[in-house]
Amino acid sequence: MAGLVLSFGLLTALGSVILSSLHLPANLLRDSGIALLILFGVSLISPKIEQLLERPFQRFARSAPSGTRSGFLIGLGLGAVFVPCAGPVLATISVLGATHRANLYSVLLSLFFAVGAAIPLFIIAMIGDRFVEKNRRLSSLTRKIRPLAGVFLIVIALILAFNVADPLQRWIPNYTSVLQQKVEGNSYTLHALRSLSHKKSNNGNLNTCEQMASFEQILGLQKCGTAPNFVGITNWVNTPGDKPLNLSALRGHVVLIDYYTYSCINCQRSLPHVEAWYQRYHRYGLDVIGVQAPEFAFEHVLSNITAGAKSLGIKYPIAVDNNLATWDAYLNQYWPAEYLIDANGVIRHVAYGEGGYSNDEQLIRKLLISANPAASLPAPTSIPDRTPTRGISPETYLGSERSQYLQGSSSVSNGSSTYSFPGSLTTGNYALNGGWTTSNQFVTSSSGAQLELGYQASDVYLVLGGKGTVRESINGKYVKTITVQGFPTLYTLLHSASRATGALKLTFSAGVQVYDFTFG
């Protein structure tokens, strides 16, 4: 285990820098690990090859009958094997290496990650060893099934080499998104993440929109300032003659910039929606540009990028941002991330992560109609959204465009109306009482207006804007009064240790804008 931790930590943190300085292919680490995995598998099948591989290490075995030193050497080899199996969870470590900023911090970071990964492996190994020792028949059986284990290792190596498992990974929804939002979506973490950016944007409005998008709130079309042009792009793919594109030359078109990397599973699940939008609306003035921003060293390789684009069916232009220069210009921090730009070159919407595809498409359609009022757009796309919502209340919007969870009113239209609470409220729905003015993306309260929500969650969040106060009660008990002032911001209404079902009641002063609820 010590050999694995040391080998994996050093290879992960320093590997890409070493390869770059020696002008070696960035694929070498991954390919070497896969080759070693195949070699280990073959040695389990063939005793002769096993003896051949063991021969250089026999003197260590003789000097250390307990096998401690040879075990350390095996661990060093396994660390290299473990590198290609680690997956996108190593994003932070790999970005440090990909941008050639490996230092003591990145080495320690990767070592601590390796320790965390090694602990359960160590426990499994110890339990298995004890179990085999106590079952002599099983011990003899393990020797007989070694060839099957070798075949299994080779199959796993081939699956990794040819990305055979990618379709299965794309099919499985991201059930950790709620936990991820808890870790990444709080104000302290967002402030810390933004402080790490080594470049500042001259576009103050982009800073504001970037902050709201980090909460994964969909606030409709905003005005986030002029979109930065592409900078530091090393290659272009899927353009005529692989020549570069310029945003200023695309004025008059609606542009969607999609930050992705081809091995990111979250990106792979969102790309079918982006591809469908391009196919459906390109003829009506939508340009989609993918910005391939590498997460791992092997994602710098142009042949890998083009092969990944072909495998994922990407037909639109791709900007290869190997130095993360355009990434920094947009203050981006996520895979996937979308920046929707109108025909005048202004960023109108920012979205991070998976989900919200229906709303994103509606915003694209709005900008296309705004750019060409005479256009007759086809029906929206019908790609299923695999973002999980089971177990907690669904994200709930209050504007007229998406008010499907409003109970007690048969229809909603823009303008002022008076509502009354229904006799009962179903979990997952909300109801209004008193005077409300409805807009496309939010509702605005009159004095004394009320909202009741039936929720199932451990955490309840609400985006509020405008100016005024909100009195909050949960299950009939007063909780707190919230003061709202200024730009729409995410407020935490409920934070508890376990998921529960309850009724939340809010009483508003005049002038408070209510956008949407999200849950954790």
Q: Is residue 389 part of a domain?
A: no
Q: Examine the domain organization and report whether 211 and 115 are in the same domain.
A: no
Q: Is residue 401 part of a domain?
A: yes
Q: Examine the domain organization and report whether 347 and 273 are in the same domain.
A: yes
Q: How confident is the model at residue 100, as a pLDDT?
A: 47
Q: Examine the domain organization and report whether 215 and 293 are in the same domain.
A: yes
Q: How confident is the model at residue 116, as a pLDDT?
A: 79
Which residues have C-beta within 8 Å of that of residue 273, sequence separation ≥ 6? Answer: 357, 360, 361, 381, 383, 385
Q: Is residue 173 part of a domain?
A: no
**Nearest Cα residue to 414 out of 386, 437, 432:** 437
Q: Examine the domain organization and report whether 344 and 423 are in the same domain.
A: no
Q: Is residue 468 part of a domain?
A: yes
Q: Examine the domain organization and report whether 243 and 116 are in the same domain.
A: no
Q: Examine the domain organization and report whether 152 and 188 are in the same domain.
A: no
Q: Examine the domain organization and report whether 341 and 251 are in the same domain.
A: yes
Q: How confident is the model at residue 187, as a pLDDT?
A: 55
- Peptide bond before residue 336 is cis, with ω within 30 degrees of 0: yes
What is the domain-level CATH number for residue 442?
Answer: 2.60.120.260
Instruction: Give the structural domain span for 441.
Output: 396-519
Helix or strand holding residue 423 (H, E): none
Q: Is residue 111 part of a domain?
A: yes
Q: Examine the domain organization and report whether 198 and 138 are in the same domain.
A: no
Q: How confident is the model at residue 50, as a pLDDT?
A: 75
Q: Examine the domain organization and report whether 226 and 322 are in the same domain.
A: yes
End-to-end, the C-alpha distance of the chain in Å comes to 37
Mean pLDDT by 10 residues, the chain (520 residues): 76 63 64 78 81 68 52 68 51 50 65 78 78 62 74 82 66 58 58 54 56 49 85 91 89 93 79 92 93 78 84 90 88 87 90 82 91 88 71 78 77 83 88 90 90 89 88 93 79 84 94 84
> Strand 443-445 relative to strand 512-519: parallel, antiparallel, unpaired?
antiparallel
Q: Is residue 183 part of a domain?
A: yes
Q: Examine the domain organization and report whether 146 and 190 are in the same domain.
A: no
Q: Examine the domain organization and report whether 15 and 44 are in the same domain.
A: yes
Which residues have C-beta within 8 Å of that of residue 427, sequence separation ≥ 6? Answer: 393, 454, 455, 456, 501
Domain boundary among 133, 162, 191: 162
Q: Is residue 170 part of a domain?
A: no
Helix or strand holding residue 103 (H, E): none
How many structural domains are present in the chain?
3
Domain boundary among 136, 162, 188: 162
Dmax (CA) of the chain: 88
Domain boundary among 371, 387, 412: 371
Phi and psi, residue 438, nearest 5°: -100, 135
Q: How confident is the model at residue 216, as a pLDDT?
A: 45
Q: Examine the domain organization and report whether 23 and 138 are in the same domain.
A: yes
Q: Are 395 and 358 in contact (CB under 8 A)?
A: no
